[in-house]
């Protein structure tokens, strides 16, 4: 099982009963895989906890995981600017783990306080892939991309108001990043970034090989 891909339930628009049922069924038919559910309402989270006590529910990232992830390979650093970006960063981090890579979570490193992101430079450099989560003007990926040459996936968040247009300002900022080698996923799509980054990290050669 090379890619480490998990089964996934997209919780938006599903009833708590449907979520529980899908998790249970997928877990039974794919006993060797983890099953991930995302975008869970509070009600769905409670229903999962009640019906499937072995599931791990994360209220911040609004996810539930049932079954165990594959042996982890490689490391993804998940970097987030502010506390409002925490839910998307958590969805990304959980997805990375479920899809089979280690996570190094680096938070509270917004561009208006450069020393914080600069003091994280070594951890950034040690990762096999970066996920950079930011709302508002979405400038963090450009700054991080200027510091290290690690493949970088940017996730715009819908944090903001007025002319942030629900994350469009951050999305456009990231698509136009002056740092080369920045790729982008949909607004608030921590899941998609996590799948992508886990695939990159799992396929990366170990550090000793890379530095040869």
d(CA 84, CA 48): 25
Position 134 contacts Mg ion (CB under 5 A): yes
Position 192 contacts ligand AMP (CB under 6 A): yes
Three-class secondary structure of residue 82 per DSSP: coil
Position 177 contacts a copy of itself (CB under 8 A): yes
**Residue from the set 22, 69, 81, 127 that interacts with Mg ion by CB under 5 A:** 81
d(CA 23, CA 35): 7
- 121-to-12, 19, 89, 146, 160 alpha-carbon distances in Å: 36, 40, 19, 11, 27
The partner residues of 106 in beta bridges, in order of sequence, read: 79
Buried/exposed 91-119: b ≥16 CB within 10 Å, e otherwise: bbbbbbbbbbbbbbbbbebbbeeeeebee
Position 84 contacts a copy of itself (CB under 8 A): yes
Closest Cα to residue 94, out of 195, 179, 186, 14?
195
d(CA 139, CA 178): 10
Piece of the chain touching ligand AMP by CB under 6 A; list 117-125, 139-147, 149-157, 189-197? 189-197
Cβ at position 88, least distance to a copy of itself in Å: 11
| Binding at 48: pick from ligand AMP, a copy of itself, Mg ion, none (beta carbon under 5-8 Å per type) | none
CB neighbours of residue 175 within 10 Å: 13
Cβ at position 152, least distance to Mg ion in Å: 15
| Binding at 47: pick from a copy of itself, Mg ion, ligand AMP, none (beta carbon under 5-8 Å per type) | none
Comparison of 10 and 205: residue with beta carbon closer to ligand AMP: 10
**Residue from the set 29, 83, 175, 207 that interacts with ligand AMP by CB under 6 A:** 83
Cβ at position 20, least distance to ligand AMP in Å: 13
Comparison of 45 and 189: residue with beta carbon closer to a copy of itself: 189
Instruction: Write each residue from 89 to 118 as x if it is in contact with a copy of itself (CB under 8 A), else as -, in one continuous string.
Output: ---------------------xxxxx---x
Measured in whole angstroms, how far is the alpha carbon of residue 151 from the centre of its chain?
Answer: 14
Which positions from 11 through 50 interact with Mg ion, judged by CB under 5 A?
none
Asked if residue 63 lies in contact with residue 38, where contact means CB atoms within 8 angstroms, the answer is yes
**Residue from the set 8, 23, 98, 124 that interacts with a copy of itself by CB under 8 A:** 8
């Amino acid at each position: 099982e090379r890619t480490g891909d998990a089964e996934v339930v997209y919780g938006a628009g599903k009833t708590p009963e449907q979520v529980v049922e899908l998790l249970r069924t997928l877990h039974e038919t794919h006993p060797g895989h983890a099953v991930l559910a995302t975008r869970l309402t509070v009600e769905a989270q409670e229903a999962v906890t009640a019906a499937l006590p072995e599931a791990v529910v994360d209220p911040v990232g609004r996810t539930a995981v049932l079954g165990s992830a594959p042996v982890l390979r490689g490391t993804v650093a998940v970097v987030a600017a502010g506390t409002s970006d925490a839910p998307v960063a958590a969805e990304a981090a959980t997805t990375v783990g479920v899809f089979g890579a280690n996570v190094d979570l680096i938070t509270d490193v917004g561009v208006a306080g450069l020393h914080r992101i600069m003091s994280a430079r070594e951890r950034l450099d040690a990762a096999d892939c970066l996920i950079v989560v930011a709302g508002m003007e979405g400038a963090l990926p450009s700054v991080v991309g200027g510091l290290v040459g690690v493949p970088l996936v940017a996730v715009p968040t819908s944090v903001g108001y007025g002319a942030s247009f629900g994350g469009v300002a951050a999305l456009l900022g990231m698509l136009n990043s002056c740092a080369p080698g920045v790729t982008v996923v949909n607004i608030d799509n921590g899941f998609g970034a996590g799948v992508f980054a886990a695939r990159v990290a799992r396929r990366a050669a170990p550090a000793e090989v890379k530095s040869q």
